[in-house]
Amino acid sequence: MSIIELKDVWKIYSLEREKATTLKEKFVNIGKKKEREKIIALKGVSLSIKRGECFGVLGKNGSGKTTLLKIIAGILKPNKGSIKVEGKIIPILTLGLGFQRELTAKENVYLYASVLGLTKKEIDENYEKIVKFSELENVMDVKLKNFSDGMIMRLSFSIAFHVNADIILIDEVLAVGDAAFQVKCLEKIKELKERGKTIVMVSHSTEDIKRFCDRALILDKGEVIFSGEAQKVCEKYEEMMESERLKRWNEKVKEESKIEFNAFFEYPYVLKKGEKCEMSVKFGNFLELPNLLFEGKDNVRIFSKKLEDGKLIFQTNSLPLSEGEYNVWIEQKNRFLTKVPFKILIKNSKESVENKVYMPPSAITPFQDLTLVFGKIPEKEIEEFENGKAIFVFENLESAFNGENACLIKENRILALDKKELILEKLRNEICQVLAIKHFKDILIKTELGRSLISYERNY
Amino acid sequence: MPQEILMLKYLKRIYSSKDIILRLAFTDLKLRYAGSYLGLLWSLLEPLLIILIYSIVFPLILKANFLEWFLFFICGLIPFRYLRKGTTEITTCLVDYSSILEKSRMSAENIIYAKAISTLFSFLIELSIVFVFVSFFVQPSFFIIFLPFAIGISFLINLGLGFYLSAVYPRARDISYILSILFETLMFLIPIVYRIEYIPSLYRGVYLLNPIARLVYVYQAIFLHSSPKFTEYLSVPKELAILFLFSLLVLIIGYKKFEKEKEISLEVI
């Protein structure tokens, strides 16, 4: 009892590499062999969908999902294979297809519904329902150009869902509209399903597929790589996406990512109650905004709020931490992006109203070790010199530690070039000295997964 | 026999999608003048202005009787304008509506029919100019009953050309440029700015091989038959019959080409 049946369907787009659309171009290209690029959109897809079933199609962009829908809808003809579809079919591939801004909402309802394949009589019968569902009763005689995008979406949804068909094809159109309207739409889909309509749904969101679909499949490069029960397919897809994302993230990190961690603390810094404390992290590119995790007695996360010139700013109005030592990590989805935590010590002051946040020398220690060790070719590893700041760059921590020799560079000058231990000693002393006398203004730490860029700046 | 059944099938298909065709035609007409202050008036103003310009220039050159020239001129110009405008507009319409065609099950023919209807409607409005001027100066004759046939034939020719050209256009966009040149030339190859008498009778046979020239002549005959200046060269009913056959031929060839090219053209747009 399958209502849609596809058997070994192939779709190949053959695109002329150089599209010669004018006579002159054709003339110039005479004699040249036409180069045709073949894009295989579907490679032998077979599926059968039962009456009253809700079927989900998952896949990345360019995996052939829309082509599949278009073939089921009969908009495209396959190069090979057979399709059998029973009953009236309505494809909703874009919302508001053919909407004209210069026409009134009412005229657009009739236009869009006609394009979807309704007769005038059917539209007349459903018109009231459509208008009611869209909640736009008062503005149906207003030209569409005066509508907001949200209103247009609502209108097109209402039309699309009041089409009386046996099979409805939906292509990633559910993710629009405000939350309340979305719920309404989802309920409508449920209702359609209960009325025994067959729904084929393309979506990126496994949530939607899980919620409605009985069965689903995953398309990849035109092939069905997994199909079965919707729940299982979704889990599989999520797994795939996660591993893909990780892979991409790692590649990206290797290529371009830098994390700079600025903490604008004077030492010791007293954070008054209610005072804004700002930290920023500088990235190259990232997929998701990272958080700051204060790890210690209390675990507190500060979520990044905004992004300015590639700089991520964490803002919090209060830091509800009890007394103790905390590790500060930059994390993303429970993965630490920093290898070494930034340490702070929280001490309640005697006045008890104020929280003292300050960095003891111990907080600097991990950086100290890292900062001063260089590989063999210091010139290459020095990234910037400006305004008396020296930023030291390492390929990775291991190589830095393994190098026998090291040098200390300050203000574009090599201060010392010696055995590693000696340099370390020297610097440790220097830092301690500095700490003893002056405050650190900025501590700049550059670090990332594969490669740690540790540096510090000092302003005397 | 199978041919007849096939034709019946076509007509049935058109009938079943009449709602969408009319809706698209309505949309097209409405959009044509949407946002302009004068709206539908433009469809009268534009031909009127063109008529005005030609009427100033051509009678001077041709040294003809103005009124006589003028009536023949408008009777020829308006039908010719329909042919030109209709054909050029239908030619590009698949590309114009590509977004809808790509994403709905609507067949491409519907857009062609809709466009043909909307241009026909514009033509009927423009035709009112002819009616006004002609009825002012010439007694109407019974020939007016031939007018619907002439319009029908124009419509069919338009549709046939439209089918053919719109199917080819997505892959060869030069057509729109070539068309405008062709129509510009054609205008002087048919009796619009001059009368058919200007053609020496020796060449008239060759001249009348052009069916469009015959069509324009038929329009002039229909409107100006009772005018004393009108001389009947060709019998109108006979011409209508020939032209009808011609229009059917154009339509069939056009439609066949359209059927053949449709798939490929739709992929290109």
Using one digit for the tens of pLDDT, what is the confidence trace for A149-167?
778 878 888 888 787 788 8
Domain ranges, residue A169: 2-247
Collapsed DSSP state (helix, strand, coil) of residue A35: coil
A254 domain residue, yes or no: no
User: Best residue in A39, A115, A121, A141 to probe B by mutation, most B CBs within 10 Å?
Assistant: A115
Nearest CA in chain A to B101: A75
B129 touches chain A (CB under 8 A): no
Predicted pLDDT of residue A398: 37
Predicted pLDDT of residue A252: 55
pLDDT top residue among B66 and A305: B66
Q: How far is B167 from chain A (nearest CA, A)?
A: 13
CB A94 within 8 A of CB A70: no
Average pLDDT score over residue span A38-62:
85
How many residue pairs from chains A and B have C-beta atoms closer than 8 A?
Answer: 72
Contact: B23, A23; criterion CB under 8 Å: no
Contacts of A77 (CB under 8 A, 6+ apart): A71, B263
Same domain, A344 and A423: no
pLDDT category of residue A258 using cuts at 50, 70 and 90: very low
Same domain, A351 and A371: no
Nearest CA in chain B to A13: B267
- For residue A268, is the peptide bond before it cis, meaning its omega torsion is within 30 degrees of 0? yes
Helix segments in A337-415, DSSP class H: 361-371, 378-381, 397-402
Contact residues, chain B, for A99 at CB < 8 Å:
none
B65 touches chain A (CB under 8 A): no
Average pLDDT score over residue span A178-184:
72
Closest to A317 measured CA to CA, from A376, A275, A369, A286: A275
Beta strands in A24-151 (DSSP E): 36-50, 54-59, 80-85, 89-92
Residue type, A330: I
pLDDT tens per residue, range A204-245: 777 778 888 888 888 888 888 888 888 888 888 888 887 777
CA B41 from centroid of its chain's CA atoms: 20
User: Best residue in B97, B102, B105 to probe A by mutation, most A CBs within 10 Å?
Assistant: B105
Residue whose structure tokens are 């495209």: A76
**Number of continuous H segments (helices) and E segments (strands) in chain B:** 11, 0
Nearest CA in chain B to A108: B27
pLDDT category of residue A324 using cuts at 50, 70 and 90: low
A432 domain residue, yes or no: yes
Same domain, A192 and A270: no
Same domain, A354 and A376: no
Same domain, A152 and A37: yes
Same domain, A388 and A337: no
Tell me the pTM: 0.66
CB-CB: which of A100, A115, A120 is closest to B31?
Answer: A100
Taking the C-alpha atoms of residue A389 and residue A384, their distance in angstroms, rounded to an integer, is: 8
- What one-character DSSP code corresponds to residue B17? T
Same domain, A222 and A157: yes
- What one-character DSSP code corresponds to residue B144? G
- How many domains, chain A? 3
A10 domain residue, yes or no: yes
CA angle B7, B13, B17 (to 5 degrees): 150
- Are β-strands A335-336 and A324-332 bridged in parallel, bridged antiparallel, or unpaired? antiparallel
CA atoms within 13 A on the CB side of A434: 16
A141 touches chain B (CB under 8 A): no
A258 domain residue, yes or no: no
Q: How far is A44 from chain B (nearest CA, A)?
A: 20
Nearest CA in chain B to A119: B19
Taking the C-alpha atoms of residue B89 and residue B81, their distance in angstroms, rounded to an integer, is: 12
A77 domain residue, yes or no: yes
CB-CB: which of B26, B31, B103 is closest to A102?
Answer: B31
Taking the C-alpha atoms of residue B124 and residue B118, their distance in angstroms, rounded to an integer, is: 10
Same domain, A216 and A157: yes
A256 domain residue, yes or no: no
The kind and range of the H/E element at A169 are strand A167-171
Calculate the alpha carbon distances from A35 to A17, A18, A78, B168 in Å.
Answer: 6, 7, 22, 21
Same domain, A333 and A398: no
Domain end residue (candidates: A342, A359, A376): A359
Indicate if the alpha-carbon torsion angle A284, A288, A289, A294 is positive or negative.
negative
A100 domain residue, yes or no: yes
Collapsed DSSP state (helix, strand, coil) of residue A207: helix
CB-CB: which of A22, A74, A120 is closest to B105?
Answer: A74
Same domain, A436 and A421: yes
Residue by residue, DSSP assigns A231-299 as: HHHHHHHHHHHHHHHHHHHHHHHHHH---EEEE---SSEEE-TT--EEEEEE-S--SS--EEEEESSS-
A253 domain residue, yes or no: no
Task: Break chain B into its structural domains and give their ranges.
Answer: 2-268
Contact: B105, A110; criterion CB under 8 Å: no
What average pLDDT values come out for chain B (269 residues) when binned by 10 residues?
Answer: 71 85 89 76 87 86 80 91 92 87 84 93 91 86 89 94 91 88 92 84 86 91 81 83 94 91 74
C-alpha gyration radius of chain B = 19
Taking the C-alpha atoms of residue B43 and residue B31, their distance in angstroms, rounded to an integer, is: 13
Collapsed DSSP state (helix, strand, coil) of residue A191: helix
Same domain, A229 and A368: no
Same domain, A242 and A385: no
Q: Label residue A445 exposed, middle or buried (CB < 10 Å: 0-12, 13-18, 19+).
A: buried
CB B86 within 8 A of CB B116: yes
Nearest CA in chain B to A123: B19
CA A333 from centroid of its chain's CA atoms: 13
- Supply A301's token pair: 């996360």
